[in-house]
């Protein structure tokens, strides 16, 4: 399950960029493309394990799943592929190997807990 190693990297990356060791994370916002190879539920499960005893323990993970968008050279336009993606333009039938979106795995933002 490579999602555990991804979750560990997310925790490490966020913690390295926090302003101080006292800060606690409330939410982490991610973007994950359909072609990233990441299984959302497995990542959420793995995140709980990776965040244990860290500044991110009990943080909520919000994931925006991104569709696959390709560019058709023949039609000169971008189009969203269905699920499962078939890399052919639905207008002209030509192959569409130019992927514009769908392979992402990004930490978009982090929300810190309010200090009391």
Here the CATH number for the domain that contains residue 99 is 3.30.2320.80
Count Cβ atoms below 10 Å from residue 52 Cβ, excluding itself: 11
Residue 83: the pLDDT is 85
For 2, the token pair is: 């490579």
Count of domains in the chain?
1
Tens-of-pLDDT digits for all 116 residues of the chain?
A: 589 999 999 999 999 999 888 999 999 999 999 999 999 999 999 999 999 999 999 999 999 999 999 999 999 999 999 888 899 998 899 999 899 999 999 999 999 997 65
Residue 114: the pLDDT is 77
Please give the residue range of the domain that contains residue 86. 2-112
Residue 1: the pLDDT is 58
In order of 15, 77, 93, 96, 99, the CA distances from 64 in angstroms are 21, 24, 29, 24, 18
Reference 72, options 60, 53, 90; nearest CA is: 90
């Amino acid at each position: 399950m490579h999602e555990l190693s991804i979750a560990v990297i997310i925790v490490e990356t966020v913690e390295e960029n926090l302003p101080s060791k006292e800060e606690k994370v409330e939410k982490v916002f991610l973007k994950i493309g359909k072609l990233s190879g990441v299984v959302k539920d497995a990542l959420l499960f793995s995140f709980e394990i990776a965040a244990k005893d860290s500044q991110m323990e009990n943080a909520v993970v919000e994931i925006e799943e991104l569709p696959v968008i390709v560019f058709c050279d023949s039609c000169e336009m971008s189009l969203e592929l269905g699920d499962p993606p078939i890399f052919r333009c639905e207008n002209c039938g030509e192959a569409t190997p130019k992927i514009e979106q769908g392979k992402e795995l990004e930490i978009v933002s982090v929300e810190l807990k309010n200090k009391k």
